[in-house]
């Protein structure tokens, strides 16, 4: 008999509880055991990986999104064809009907900020696992009935599976007009709000000017980089700390702990670090729990900022997801500037600046948008002084009157001309 979905979620809740316990006792031994299990039960069914069975992880090739997608047919364990799966995913996205599946598996598209869309496929077991991780680590268990307002670009079966007597998910399609969201969320009065920071900020503004009056107990930030300024605005408005979730192609990579740091879910992931300096690294992820589309040594495009956390967990703590490699500005051959420095410089120019954007037009030109035009000069001269202090003279800074942000896409406050090769 087929196990009902909700029962599966409960089974996974128990399983990940023990996995976390096992990791915290002995991280290395736990990961080695999970890695062996993954090879035996999952990679043996993947045409790409079955010949590499029972070898050291380091012998497996590192893949970026492009190769990962290019190798889709060889990687997946269900003999799925990329074009067939893509067709279903695109059709679902265009019709906004997200129920079709392929061989009983859920397909979806993940939007990359660089425009290249990723295709992900998950089984019902993986959906149940995802739900269990979300409940255990983000929403937290409660016997009180709660309503969740979930803003996302595309719905998929993945999310609508989280319905029960205790948690009711309500989906807000990011492509709908903001007025509709305002009306619906006011009616709903959610206990939990989940969305990208640019959207959460719009909701905070609506709350401030009394278009809505909501009292969520949790505000959860997903998808985009959450800057400390946006975090403060949202927290001050809703009077609750903003929790962050770090996801990739629908895998849960990490979330905020009670001390406000993000932790990578290393009880289900092996994270290799490509260090950029003493604190910053690019993660290379091996997901020990996925089995339809195994994620092995997948090199992300993110810059993570490592830290130590006193909450007691041995899982790697991060102060922040600092940005993406696409946001690193390059000047000439060898000079690079991390997006965090640009952000700090602009914010440092005036405490009133909270909406800005920098777009690198060429190695010598930047366009700068500041919502409060009276503060533009201050921000521009702070940037100018910063570049000079870094030995990058003669950068022309132009005024931009509009924020570049396509509806439904991720807001990027800092756009580099092209990502540097490092």
Q: Is 307 in the site for Zn ion (CB under 5 A)?
A: no
| Residue from 311, 361, 373, 422 binding Zn ion (CB under 5 A) | 311
**Considering the complex, what minimum distance in angstroms separates the CB of residue 317 from Zn ion?**
5
Give the x-and-dash track for 259-278 against Zn ion (CB under 5 A): x-x-----------------
Distance in angstroms (rounded) separating the CA atoms of residues 104 and 321: 34
Would you give the DSSP letter of residue 47? T
**Considering the complex, what minimum distance in angstroms separates the CB of residue 31 from Zn ion?**
19
Q: Which is nearer to Zn ion, 232 or 259 (CB)?
A: 259
Distance in angstroms (rounded) separating the CA atoms of residues 101 and 127: 13
**Considering the complex, what minimum distance in angstroms separates the CB of residue 224 from Zn ion?**
22
| Span from 79-87, 135-143, 302-310, 358-366 in contact with Zn ion (CB under 5 A) | 302-310
* Contact partners, residue 141, CB within 8 Å, separation at least 6: 135
Q: Is 315 in the site for Zn ion (CB under 5 A)?
A: no
Would you give the DSSP letter of residue 153? S
**Considering the complex, what minimum distance in angstroms separates the CB of residue 372 from Zn ion?**
36
**Considering the complex, what minimum distance in angstroms separates the CB of residue 315 from Zn ion?**
8
| Residue from 121, 223, 257, 411 binding Zn ion (CB under 5 A) | 257
Yes or no: say if 346 and 380 are a contact pair by the CB < 8 Å rule.
no
Give the x-and-dash track for 211-250 against Zn ion (CB under 5 A): ----------------------------------------
| Span from 285-293, 301-309, 381-389, 391-399 in contact with Zn ion (CB under 5 A) | 301-309
SS3 category, 391:
coil
Give, for 102, the enclosing helix (H) or strand (E): strand 101-102
Q: Is 300 in the site for Zn ion (CB under 5 A)?
A: no
23-27 long-range contacts, Cβ below 8 Å, gap at least 24? 23/266, 23/267, 23/314, 23/315, 24/267, 24/313, 24/314, 27/266, 27/314
Distance in angstroms (rounded) separating the CA atoms of residues 87 and 376: 46
Q: Which is nearer to Zn ion, 140 or 399 (CB)?
A: 140
Q: How far, CA to CA in Å, does 15 sit from each of 6, 22, 359? A: 14, 10, 46
Residues engaged in binding Zn ion (CB under 5 A): 257, 259, 261, 309, 311
């Amino acid at each position: 008999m087929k196990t009902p979905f909700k029962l599966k979620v409960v089974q996974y809740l128990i399983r990940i509880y023990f996995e976390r316990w096992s990791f915290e006792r002995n991280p290395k031994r736990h990961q080695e055991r999970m890695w062996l299990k993954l090879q035996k039960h999952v990679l043996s069914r993947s045409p790409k990986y079955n010949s590499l069975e029972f070898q050291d992880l380091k012998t497996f090739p590192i893949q970026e999104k492009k190769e990962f997608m290019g190798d889709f047919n060889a990687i997946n364990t269900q003999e799925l064809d990329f074009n067939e799966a893509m067709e279903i995913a695109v059709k679902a996205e265009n019709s906004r009907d997200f129920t079709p599946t392929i061989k009983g598996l859920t397909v979806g598209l993940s939007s990359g900020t660089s425009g290249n869309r990723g295709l992900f496929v998950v089984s019902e077991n993986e959906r149940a696992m995802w739900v269990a991780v979300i409940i255990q680590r983000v929403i937290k268990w409660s016997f009180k009935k709660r309503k969740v307002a979930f803003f996302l670009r595309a719905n998929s079966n993945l999310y609508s599976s989280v319905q029960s007597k205790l948690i009711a998910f309500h989906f807000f399609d990011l492509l709908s007009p903001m007025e509709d969201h305002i009306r619906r969320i006011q009616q709903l009065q959610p206990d939990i709000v989940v969305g990208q920071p640019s959207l959460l900020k719009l909701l905070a503004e609506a709350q401030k000017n009394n278009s809505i009056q909501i009292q969520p107990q949790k505000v959860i930030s997903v998808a985009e980089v959450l800057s400390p300024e946006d975090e403060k605005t949202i927290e001050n408005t809703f009077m609750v700390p903003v929790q962050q979730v770090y996801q990739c192609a629908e895998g849960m990579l990490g979330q905020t702990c009670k001390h406000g740091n993000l932790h990578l879910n290393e009880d289900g992931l092996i994270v290799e670090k490509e260090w950029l300096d003493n604190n910053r690294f690019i993660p290379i992820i091996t997901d020990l729990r996925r089995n339809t589309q195994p994620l092995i040594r997948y090199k992300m495009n993110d810059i993570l900022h490592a830290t130590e956390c006193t909450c007691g967990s041995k899982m790697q703590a991060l102060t922040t997801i600092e940005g993406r490699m696409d946001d690193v500005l390059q000047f000439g051959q060898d000079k690079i500037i991390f997006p965090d420095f640009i952000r700090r410089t602009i914010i440092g120019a005036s405490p009133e600046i909270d909406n800005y954007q920098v777009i690198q037009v060429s190695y010598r030109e930047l366009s700068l948008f500041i919502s409060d035009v009276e503060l533009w000069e201050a921000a521009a001269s702070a940037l100018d002084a910063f570049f000079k202090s870094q030995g990058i003279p003669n950068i022309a800074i132009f005024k931009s009157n509009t924020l570049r942000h396509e509806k439904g896409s991720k807001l990027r406050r800092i756009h580099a001309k092209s990502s540097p090769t490092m």
